[in-house]
Chains A and B, each alone.
Chain A
Amino acid sequence: MSEAATEPLPQAGAVKSSWRFNSMIGLNIVALVFGLGFWQLVTSLGVVGLPTPVQVFNQAIASISSGLLVSDALASLARVLTGFILGIAVAVPVGFLMGWYPTARGLIEPYIQFFRTIPPLAIIPLAIVTMGIGEVPKIFVIFLAAFLTSVVATFQGVISVDRTLINAARVLGARDATIFRRVVIPASTPFIMVGVRIGLGSSWATVVAAELIAAQSGLGFRMQQGQLYYDLPVIFVSLITIGILGLIMDRIVIAADRRLTAWQEKA
């Protein structure tokens, strides 16, 4: 069977896709410049009562040099990451448990399905009343947001593991514990990563909202202050920071996903 070596590897259209990538970036930049120009135009003509890009930029410089922007961003990030990591850390084992043991599924699933229908934000009033106005209620709500999305994804991953892969492991001598570690976990990673990505998105959305309602720091709190004092540039700076940080976190998850699931056959 030495003809194997001559079988061609599927060649990706490397040249073509790199061209496409570069022109995509080019288009993105064009869109960005146009957007800023349009913003400058309508605000400087006084069509809308919003700050100009220059005013927002100056506010950003001021916020950075006063240290407020950084401390706000860090406060929000700390809440998101704590809640999010706790949420994933609990969701993954619970999801595995539900997928692997029908009994666990039967016991846990009704609660998850029920709480999933309640937006995490709706829990905030309850959380504040029962847990006070410190960090705990905010982190709890974020935890809930991350947990609920990831637990379902993990569970889906486990129940959709290809039976033949499990059988293949069994006939090679694997027992349940090995099958779980060597087959079920890697096979459900793509699903888990989808859950992580969605979970991070909803954690981020939740933190800002939680800070709007009750906080003494954070980007949401800063916007709330801006609203109070009618300080539009401050609101803009916070909004843009939220967007940029969210984007960066999403990219990090995507990069992690690429590494962890590079083995997947993509159609």
Chain B
Amino acid sequence: MNPKISFKDVSRTFDVAGRPIFKALDRFSLDIEDGEFITVVGPSGCGKSTAMNIAAGLLQPSSGQVVVDGVEVKGPGPERGVIFQQYALFPWLTVRENVEFGLRLQNIPKQKRREIADHFIDLVGLKDFAHALPKMLSGGMKQRCAIARAYAVNPKILLMDEPFGALDALTRVQLQDQLLQTWSKERRTVMFITHDVDEAVYLANRVVVMAARPGRLDRIIDVGLPYPRTEEIRLSPEFATLRNEVWRAVYHPAAAA
């Protein structure tokens, strides 16, 4: 089977005046299978967001390419949903209007749009806040609204850049479980960036560890724990072993090739 997303020798440099050309991402190659949940961890500045933005079509690679469903990525597309760390809700729109934003662009009739939006608003537990503006929501609620907005256009791929980074531990765990639930129901392909080693292991089929200077792939760790993931799994010795392995990989990367 062909991979759903394929990074092929993707490099990206940044040319900042007065500094040597900076390799944010160096010959990054990775195949993500259809329906797979990949998490990406690595130190700050190792190119995680750069890699994701290139896959999202928001950033051009300096060389190499990202191929989605056999087609080279040239720009953003509705089959690739993106969830940003900073929520990126439109502050002048209500929760429902935010969720409907993408549907509107597809010229879905009002009635149908309503239905779809309400379904996803309900799914993320924001039913009572459908008419609220983002400023009235807590951080966790904003992130859930962003998730509903991304889900609503039914993307086959979800690209998530540290979506739970700013949340408290409890909200975070709840959102993780909810994400896994919907993922196992609707089998999307997910690329999920995080700083949190626990989160990386808990969610993933495979954990991609990156290293910095230059930003590159360090290694890929197979998780191999069964789904649904439960608290029991989170507290199991197998989980601890994997977490230690990822931890060591992040803090002791192999030397750059």
Interface residue ranges, A against B (CB under 8 Å):
1-5, 7, 9-10, 162, 164-165, 167-174, 178, 182-183, 186-187, 189, 262-265
Contacts and interface: CB of A to CB of B under 8 A. Distances in A.
Q: Which of B101, B140, B144 has the most CB of A within 10 A?
A: B101
A171 to B, nearest CB: 4
B141 A4 contact: yes
A191 to B, nearest CB: 13
Nearest to B79: A173
Contact of B127 (A5, A183, A189): A5
Contacts of A170: 58, 75-76
A5 B174 contact: no
B56 A1 contact: no
Contacts of A7: 138, 140-141
Contact of B90 (A9, A10, A183): A183
Interface of B: 56-58, 75-78, 80-82, 84, 86, 88-93, 101-102, 105-106, 123-129, 132-136, 138, 140-141, 144, 149, 153, 174-175, 178
Contacts, number: 91
A186 B89 CA distance: 13
Nearest to A164: B88
Contact of A168 (B82, B106, B135): B82
Contacts of A168: 82, 84, 88-90
B135 A265 contact: yes
Given A164-B86, A170-B76, A171-B76, A186 B138 contact: no
A169 to B, nearest CB: 7
A171 B125 contact: no
A1 B82 contact: no
B88 A173 contact: no
Given A1-B144, A178-B105, A264-B91, A171 B174 contact: no
Contacts of A164: 84, 86, 88
B128 A173 contact: no
Contacts of B124: 1, 4
A174 B75 CA distance: 11
Given A172-B153, A173-B77, A1 B88 contact: no
